[in-house]
A and B are shown apart, each in its own frame.
Chain A
Amino acid sequence: MKEKNIITFSPELKKEILDIFDKTVDEEGYIVEKGNPSEKVLTPDGEELKLKNFAGVTKGSLMFVKSDLVSLIKLHDKI
Protein backbone atom coordinates (compact mmCIF):
# COMPACT_ATOMS: atom_id res chain seq x y z
CA MET A 1 0.00 0.00 0.00
CA LYS A 2 3.02 2.27 0.33
CA GLU A 3 2.74 3.30 -3.31
CA LYS A 4 -0.84 4.34 -3.10
CA ASN A 5 -0.92 7.93 -1.83
CA ILE A 6 -2.01 7.55 1.75
CA ILE A 7 -1.86 10.02 4.61
CA THR A 8 -2.51 8.77 8.12
CA PHE A 9 -3.45 10.93 11.09
CA SER A 10 -3.64 10.44 14.83
CA PRO A 11 -7.11 9.30 15.95
CA GLU A 12 -7.36 12.35 18.23
CA LEU A 13 -7.34 14.54 15.11
CA LYS A 14 -10.59 13.14 13.71
CA LYS A 15 -12.60 16.29 14.45
CA GLU A 16 -9.94 18.54 12.91
CA ILE A 17 -9.81 16.38 9.78
CA LEU A 18 -13.60 16.57 9.45
CA ASP A 19 -13.47 20.32 9.95
CA ILE A 20 -11.16 20.64 6.95
CA PHE A 21 -13.92 19.14 4.83
CA ASP A 22 -16.62 21.35 6.36
CA LYS A 23 -18.07 18.62 8.54
CA THR A 24 -18.82 18.64 12.26
CA VAL A 25 -20.37 16.35 14.88
CA ASP A 26 -23.91 16.72 16.28
CA GLU A 27 -25.08 16.12 19.86
CA GLU A 28 -25.67 12.42 19.20
CA GLY A 29 -22.16 11.96 17.84
CA TYR A 30 -23.12 11.77 14.15
CA ILE A 31 -20.99 13.47 11.49
CA VAL A 32 -23.01 16.24 9.83
CA GLU A 33 -22.55 19.11 7.37
CA LYS A 34 -21.16 22.15 9.17
CA GLY A 35 -23.46 24.49 7.24
CA ASN A 36 -26.51 22.27 7.68
CA PRO A 37 -26.33 20.16 10.86
CA SER A 38 -29.59 18.36 10.04
CA GLU A 39 -27.85 16.75 7.05
CA LYS A 40 -25.95 13.67 8.19
CA VAL A 41 -22.90 12.42 6.29
CA LEU A 42 -23.38 8.98 4.75
CA THR A 43 -20.90 6.18 4.10
CA PRO A 44 -20.58 4.61 0.60
CA ASP A 45 -23.15 2.04 1.84
CA GLY A 46 -25.58 4.82 2.71
CA GLU A 47 -25.18 4.48 6.46
CA GLU A 48 -25.11 7.40 8.86
CA LEU A 49 -21.71 7.65 10.46
CA LYS A 50 -20.70 8.43 14.04
CA LEU A 51 -17.40 10.08 14.91
CA LYS A 52 -16.32 7.01 16.92
CA ASN A 53 -16.78 4.85 13.80
CA PHE A 54 -15.10 7.27 11.39
CA ALA A 55 -11.94 5.85 9.78
CA GLY A 56 -11.10 8.48 7.18
CA VAL A 57 -11.92 9.86 3.76
CA THR A 58 -11.21 8.58 0.32
CA LYS A 59 -11.31 10.36 -3.02
CA GLY A 60 -14.10 10.24 -5.49
CA SER A 61 -16.93 12.39 -4.31
CA LEU A 62 -15.10 12.54 -0.98
CA MET A 63 -16.37 9.37 0.65
CA PHE A 64 -16.38 9.01 4.41
CA VAL A 65 -15.33 5.55 5.47
CA LYS A 66 -16.47 3.57 8.50
CA SER A 67 -13.86 1.87 10.67
CA ASP A 68 -15.28 -1.67 10.80
CA LEU A 69 -13.44 -4.47 8.99
CA VAL A 70 -16.04 -4.93 6.25
CA SER A 71 -15.84 -1.24 5.26
CA LEU A 72 -12.04 -1.27 5.38
CA ILE A 73 -11.82 -4.43 3.24
CA LYS A 74 -13.98 -2.71 0.62
CA LEU A 75 -11.67 0.30 0.80
CA HIS A 76 -8.63 -1.95 0.51
CA ASP A 77 -10.09 -3.67 -2.56
CA LYS A 78 -10.68 -0.26 -4.13
CA ILE A 79 -7.20 1.22 -3.71
Chain B
Amino acid sequence: MNFFDKLKELIRVRDTNLFNNIFSNNLKIENLHIHLDKGSNKDFKQENNNLIIDVFRVPEIKQLIREDLNILISSDDYKKLETIEDTPNINKYQSLRGIIPDKDYDILKASVVIREKFKNKQDIQKLKEELVESYGTRARRISNLCSAGYFDYMIEILDELKKDESFNIESFRKFYEIIIDEEAFSVFVHVGLNENLKEIILNKLERNKSYGIKYVNIHALNKVNVNLANKVIREILEEFKNIDIAEKKDSGTNLFVKLKDTEA
Protein backbone atom coordinates (compact mmCIF):
# COMPACT_ATOMS: atom_id res chain seq x y z
CA MET B 1 0.00 0.00 0.00
CA ASN B 2 1.55 3.33 -1.00
CA PHE B 3 1.49 6.57 0.95
CA PHE B 4 -1.67 7.95 -0.59
CA ASP B 5 -3.57 4.67 -0.22
CA LYS B 6 -2.62 4.63 3.45
CA LEU B 7 -3.64 8.27 3.78
CA LYS B 8 -7.00 7.62 2.17
CA GLU B 9 -7.60 4.60 4.34
CA LEU B 10 -6.78 6.48 7.55
CA ILE B 11 -9.15 9.29 6.60
CA ARG B 12 -11.91 6.89 5.50
CA VAL B 13 -11.78 4.98 8.78
CA ARG B 14 -11.84 8.21 10.76
CA ASP B 15 -14.62 10.04 8.99
CA THR B 16 -16.46 8.92 5.87
CA ASN B 17 -17.92 12.36 5.21
CA LEU B 18 -14.52 13.95 5.45
CA PHE B 19 -13.15 11.27 3.16
CA ASN B 20 -15.83 11.99 0.59
CA ASN B 21 -15.31 15.72 0.90
CA ILE B 22 -11.61 15.50 0.35
CA PHE B 23 -11.32 12.77 -2.21
CA SER B 24 -14.53 13.22 -4.13
CA ASN B 25 -14.83 16.98 -4.24
CA ASN B 26 -11.97 19.10 -3.17
CA LEU B 27 -8.77 17.33 -3.79
CA LYS B 28 -7.40 16.08 -7.05
CA ILE B 29 -4.97 13.20 -6.86
CA GLU B 30 -2.69 12.69 -9.81
CA ASN B 31 -0.11 9.94 -9.80
CA LEU B 32 0.65 10.11 -6.10
CA HIS B 33 0.75 13.86 -6.10
CA ILE B 34 -1.64 16.06 -4.15
CA HIS B 35 -1.95 19.83 -4.56
CA LEU B 36 -3.55 21.52 -1.57
CA ASP B 37 -4.26 24.69 -3.48
CA LYS B 38 -6.49 23.37 -6.22
CA GLY B 39 -9.59 25.37 -7.03
CA SER B 40 -10.03 28.80 -8.55
CA ASN B 41 -12.81 30.00 -6.24
CA LYS B 42 -11.25 31.61 -3.15
CA ASP B 43 -13.85 30.31 -0.65
CA PHE B 44 -13.65 26.85 -2.14
CA LYS B 45 -9.87 26.96 -1.89
CA GLN B 46 -9.97 28.14 1.75
CA GLU B 47 -12.44 25.39 2.66
CA ASN B 48 -10.21 22.85 0.95
CA ASN B 49 -7.13 24.11 2.80
CA ASN B 50 -8.86 24.05 6.18
CA LEU B 51 -10.01 20.50 5.58
CA ILE B 52 -6.61 19.16 4.75
CA ILE B 53 -4.88 21.03 7.58
CA ASP B 54 -7.35 19.45 10.00
CA VAL B 55 -6.62 16.07 8.50
CA PHE B 56 -2.89 16.56 8.97
CA ARG B 57 -3.42 17.18 12.68
CA VAL B 58 -4.78 13.67 13.21
CA PRO B 59 -1.99 11.83 15.10
CA GLU B 60 -1.93 8.72 12.86
CA ILE B 61 -1.84 10.86 9.73
CA LYS B 62 0.83 13.11 11.19
CA GLN B 63 2.87 9.99 11.89
CA LEU B 64 2.31 8.74 8.33
CA ILE B 65 3.50 12.07 6.92
CA ARG B 66 6.61 12.01 9.12
CA GLU B 67 7.49 8.48 8.07
CA ASP B 68 6.32 8.00 4.49
CA LEU B 69 5.79 11.31 2.74
CA ASN B 70 8.82 12.45 0.77
CA ILE B 71 8.09 16.15 0.71
CA LEU B 72 5.49 18.57 1.95
CA ILE B 73 6.36 21.73 0.09
CA SER B 74 4.90 25.12 -0.81
CA SER B 75 3.59 25.25 -4.35
CA ASP B 76 5.97 28.14 -5.22
CA ASP B 77 8.97 26.09 -4.23
CA TYR B 78 7.59 22.99 -5.93
CA LYS B 79 7.71 25.00 -9.16
CA LYS B 80 11.41 25.53 -8.49
CA LEU B 81 11.81 21.76 -8.04
CA GLU B 82 10.13 21.26 -11.41
CA THR B 83 12.51 23.81 -12.95
CA ILE B 84 15.46 21.92 -11.46
CA GLU B 85 14.05 18.64 -12.82
CA ASP B 86 13.70 20.18 -16.28
CA THR B 87 17.14 21.80 -16.40
CA PRO B 88 19.32 20.15 -19.04
CA ASN B 89 22.99 19.59 -18.25
CA ILE B 90 22.55 20.35 -14.57
CA ASN B 91 25.48 17.99 -13.89
CA LYS B 92 27.60 19.35 -16.73
CA TYR B 93 30.40 20.39 -14.39
CA GLN B 94 30.45 17.17 -12.40
CA SER B 95 34.18 16.75 -13.09
CA LEU B 96 34.74 19.72 -10.76
CA ARG B 97 33.02 17.95 -7.87
CA GLY B 98 35.51 17.23 -5.11
CA ILE B 99 38.04 19.50 -6.78
CA ILE B 100 36.44 22.88 -6.12
CA PRO B 101 34.93 23.58 -2.66
CA ASP B 102 31.67 21.65 -2.06
CA LYS B 103 29.72 24.85 -1.45
CA ASP B 104 31.00 26.31 -4.74
CA TYR B 105 29.92 23.17 -6.57
CA ASP B 106 26.40 23.46 -5.09
CA ILE B 107 26.26 27.13 -6.12
CA LEU B 108 27.51 26.19 -9.59
CA LYS B 109 24.62 23.74 -10.07
CA ALA B 110 22.18 26.46 -9.00
CA SER B 111 23.91 28.80 -11.46
CA VAL B 112 23.31 26.31 -14.28
CA VAL B 113 19.57 26.40 -13.45
CA ILE B 114 19.62 30.21 -13.52
CA ARG B 115 21.56 30.25 -16.80
CA GLU B 116 19.10 27.88 -18.49
CA LYS B 117 16.13 29.94 -17.30
CA PHE B 118 17.79 33.06 -18.70
CA LYS B 119 18.40 31.31 -22.02
CA ASN B 120 14.67 30.56 -22.11
CA LYS B 121 13.98 34.27 -21.56
CA GLN B 122 12.53 33.63 -18.09
CA ASP B 123 12.96 36.02 -15.18
CA ILE B 124 16.01 35.11 -13.08
CA GLN B 125 16.23 38.19 -10.88
CA LYS B 126 14.60 36.69 -7.78
CA LEU B 127 16.49 33.39 -7.99
CA LYS B 128 19.80 35.22 -8.32
CA GLU B 129 18.99 37.57 -5.44
CA GLU B 130 18.10 34.59 -3.22
CA LEU B 131 21.37 32.89 -4.14
CA VAL B 132 23.43 35.97 -3.29
CA GLU B 133 21.42 36.60 -0.12
CA SER B 134 22.14 33.07 1.08
CA TYR B 135 25.73 32.58 -0.14
CA GLY B 136 27.18 36.07 -0.57
CA THR B 137 29.13 37.80 -3.31
CA ARG B 138 31.10 34.63 -4.11
CA ALA B 139 27.79 33.16 -5.32
CA ARG B 140 27.26 36.19 -7.56
CA ARG B 141 30.74 35.71 -9.03
CA ILE B 142 30.21 32.00 -9.66
CA SER B 143 26.82 32.67 -11.24
CA ASN B 144 28.26 35.42 -13.48
CA LEU B 145 31.18 33.23 -14.55
CA CYS B 146 28.84 30.32 -15.24
CA SER B 147 26.53 32.49 -17.37
CA ALA B 148 29.50 33.81 -19.34
CA GLY B 149 30.74 30.27 -20.05
CA TYR B 150 33.95 30.41 -18.02
CA PHE B 151 33.26 27.08 -16.33
CA ASP B 152 33.23 25.45 -19.76
CA TYR B 153 36.82 26.62 -20.20
CA MET B 154 37.59 25.51 -16.67
CA ILE B 155 36.55 21.87 -17.26
CA GLU B 156 38.46 21.87 -20.56
CA ILE B 157 41.57 23.07 -18.74
CA LEU B 158 41.01 20.50 -16.00
CA ASP B 159 40.63 17.70 -18.56
CA GLU B 160 43.88 18.76 -20.23
CA LEU B 161 45.74 19.01 -16.93
CA LYS B 162 44.51 15.60 -15.82
CA LYS B 163 46.20 14.00 -18.83
CA ASP B 164 49.53 14.99 -17.33
CA GLU B 165 50.83 12.44 -14.84
CA SER B 166 52.14 15.23 -12.63
CA PHE B 167 48.66 16.76 -12.31
CA ASN B 168 48.26 18.33 -8.91
CA ILE B 169 44.82 19.22 -7.54
CA GLU B 170 46.27 21.87 -5.26
CA SER B 171 47.77 23.85 -8.14
CA PHE B 172 44.43 23.69 -9.98
CA ARG B 173 42.67 24.92 -6.83
CA LYS B 174 45.03 27.90 -6.62
CA PHE B 175 44.28 28.70 -10.26
CA TYR B 176 40.55 28.29 -9.57
CA GLU B 177 40.65 30.62 -6.56
CA ILE B 178 42.34 33.35 -8.63
CA ILE B 179 39.69 32.95 -11.35
CA ILE B 180 36.88 33.28 -8.78
CA ASP B 181 38.50 36.09 -6.77
CA GLU B 182 39.31 38.06 -9.91
CA GLU B 183 36.07 37.07 -11.70
CA ALA B 184 38.17 35.65 -14.53
CA PHE B 185 39.83 39.05 -14.97
CA SER B 186 36.46 40.36 -16.08
CA VAL B 187 33.95 43.05 -15.27
CA PHE B 188 30.28 42.04 -15.33
CA VAL B 189 28.29 45.16 -16.06
CA HIS B 190 25.04 45.93 -14.31
CA VAL B 191 23.25 49.24 -13.87
CA GLY B 192 24.20 49.37 -10.19
CA LEU B 193 27.77 50.10 -11.33
CA ASN B 194 26.63 53.03 -13.47
CA GLU B 195 28.57 55.95 -11.96
CA ASN B 196 31.73 53.99 -11.18
CA LEU B 197 31.88 51.70 -14.20
CA LYS B 198 34.71 53.51 -15.97
CA GLU B 199 36.82 53.51 -12.81
CA ILE B 200 36.00 49.84 -12.14
CA ILE B 201 37.08 48.79 -15.65
CA LEU B 202 40.32 50.80 -15.48
CA ASN B 203 41.14 49.50 -11.99
CA LYS B 204 40.47 45.95 -13.12
CA LEU B 205 42.81 46.38 -16.08
CA GLU B 206 45.54 47.68 -13.76
CA ARG B 207 44.97 44.80 -11.34
CA ASN B 208 45.04 42.25 -14.16
CA LYS B 209 48.43 43.63 -15.23
CA SER B 210 49.79 42.63 -11.81
CA TYR B 211 49.04 39.03 -12.91
CA GLY B 212 50.77 39.64 -16.25
CA ILE B 213 47.41 39.92 -18.03
CA LYS B 214 47.20 42.93 -20.31
CA TYR B 215 43.49 42.94 -20.92
CA VAL B 216 40.13 43.10 -19.21
CA ASN B 217 37.04 41.22 -20.39
CA ILE B 218 33.77 43.09 -20.17
CA HIS B 219 30.46 41.21 -20.13
CA ALA B 220 26.96 42.68 -20.25
CA LEU B 221 23.58 41.00 -20.57
CA ASN B 222 20.30 42.80 -21.35
CA LYS B 223 19.90 45.87 -23.49
CA VAL B 224 20.24 48.39 -20.64
CA ASN B 225 23.52 46.89 -19.44
CA VAL B 226 24.87 46.53 -22.99
CA ASN B 227 24.11 50.19 -23.75
CA LEU B 228 25.78 51.28 -20.52
CA ALA B 229 28.87 49.16 -21.23
CA ASN B 230 29.18 50.46 -24.81
CA LYS B 231 28.85 54.07 -23.66
CA VAL B 232 31.58 53.70 -21.01
CA ILE B 233 33.88 51.76 -23.37
CA ARG B 234 33.59 54.60 -25.92
CA GLU B 235 34.57 57.10 -23.22
CA ILE B 236 37.58 54.99 -22.23
CA LEU B 237 38.74 54.64 -25.85
CA GLU B 238 38.48 58.40 -26.38
CA GLU B 239 40.32 59.21 -23.19
CA PHE B 240 43.06 56.56 -23.22
CA LYS B 241 44.90 56.11 -26.52
CA ASN B 242 46.83 53.11 -25.14
CA ILE B 243 43.63 51.11 -24.69
CA ASP B 244 42.04 49.38 -27.64
CA ILE B 245 39.43 46.73 -28.41
CA ALA B 246 41.07 43.34 -29.03
CA GLU B 247 37.81 41.43 -29.44
CA LYS B 248 34.13 42.33 -29.52
CA LYS B 249 30.86 40.40 -29.81
CA ASP B 250 27.68 42.42 -29.54
CA SER B 251 24.21 40.99 -30.20
CA GLY B 252 22.46 44.01 -28.70
CA THR B 253 21.44 42.06 -25.61
CA ASN B 254 24.68 40.17 -24.99
CA LEU B 255 28.00 41.97 -25.13
CA PHE B 256 31.55 40.73 -24.78
CA VAL B 257 34.47 43.09 -25.21
CA LYS B 258 38.16 42.41 -24.57
CA LEU B 259 39.90 45.71 -23.85
CA LYS B 260 43.66 45.58 -24.20
CA ASP B 261 46.38 47.89 -22.94
CA THR B 262 48.58 48.15 -26.04
CA GLU B 263 51.51 49.71 -24.18
CA ALA B 264 51.72 47.25 -21.32
Contact = CB atoms under 8 A, between A and B. Distances in A.
Interface string A19-48: 011000000000000000000000000000
B60 interface: no
B182 interface: no
Looking at chain A, what size class is its interface with the partner chain? 35 or more
Interface in B24-79: 30-37, 45, 49, 52-53, 56-57, 62, 65-78
Contacts of B78: 6, 8
Interface stretch (B127-135, B152-160, B207-215): B127-135
B161 interface: no
A10 B36 contact: yes
B104 to A, nearest CB: 11
B226 interface: no
6 contacts: A6-B71, A7-B33, A9-B75, A67-B77, A68-B135, A72-B80
Contact of A1 (B68, B81, B90, B106): B81
Judged by DSSP, the binding face of B is helix
Interface residues of B, number: 50
Interface of B: 2-4, 30-37, 45, 49, 52-53, 56-57, 62, 65-78, 80-82, 84-85, 90, 106-107, 109-110, 113-114, 127, 130-131, 133-135
Given A5-B4, A55-B77, A67-B130, A72 B32 contact: no
B32 A8 contact: no
Nearest to A61: B66
A4 B70 CA distance: 7
Q: 8 closest pairs, A vs B, by CB?
A: A56-B73, A69-B110, A10-B37, A55-B77, A2-B31, A5-B70, A9-B36, A8-B75
